[in-house]
Amino acid sequence: MNDQAIISLFEQRNEQAISESNQQYGALCRSVARDITGNDEDAEECLNDAMLAAWNAIPPAKPKNFCAYLLKLVRNAAHDRYRAAHTMKRNAANIAGSIDELAEIIPDRGDVVSEVERREMIGAINRFLQGLPQKQRDLFVRRYWYATDISSLSKMFHMTESHVTMTLSRLRKRLQKHLRKEGLL
């Protein structure tokens, strides 16, 4: 079943939308959630939370890319679950590490950044990513969007862990330079 048909089921409030979404994207969503939370049970709960969020949001929301929409819901649920489980453990490896790496470049303003500034930042990061070779872009996205650990990235990209770490460090420096050039830092 294609994305538009699934969205149509959501709009009709047909419960088959959940099973079709799960069949189409469940494995991918669980994988993303598992990378963030670190276990299968939490990943399953994140998928359930995302399905409920989609059910409550569609309609009125009508996502153009349902897969990306669902992955974002799963990712947000996984980050929420991770933060709740690790509130007192600030040195947890995966998520905290990847977030800390980017925090050196993109400052946290302490309060909600205006929508215009947020969109400018997203646009600048997207332009930066579009200018990267495919392998570097994939490495960056896997680390900082999906929070994949260095060891897994090393295996995925057939690189040593130190090469992955160095490449990510160089990419962060290039991103910082790009954001400065665009006047966002």
Give the pLDDT of the chain (185 residues) as one tens digit per residue.
788 888 888 888 888 888 888 888 888 888 888 888 888 888 888 888 888 888 888 888 888 888 888 888 898 888 888 777 765 454 445 555 666 666 666 655 544 446 667 778 888 888 899 999 999 999 998 888 888 888 989 999 999 999 999 999 999 999 999 888 888 77
Structure tokens at 48: 């359930």
Which uninterrupted H or E stretch holds 117? helix 115-130
Structure tokens at 176: 């910082």
Domains defined for the chain, CATH in brackets: 3-92 (1.10.1740.10), 96-181 (1.20.140.160)
In terms of Cα–Cα distance, which of 152, 148, 170, 169 is closest to 161?
A: 152
Cα 138 to Cα 10, 61, 94, 131, 167, distances in angstroms: 31, 28, 17, 12, 12
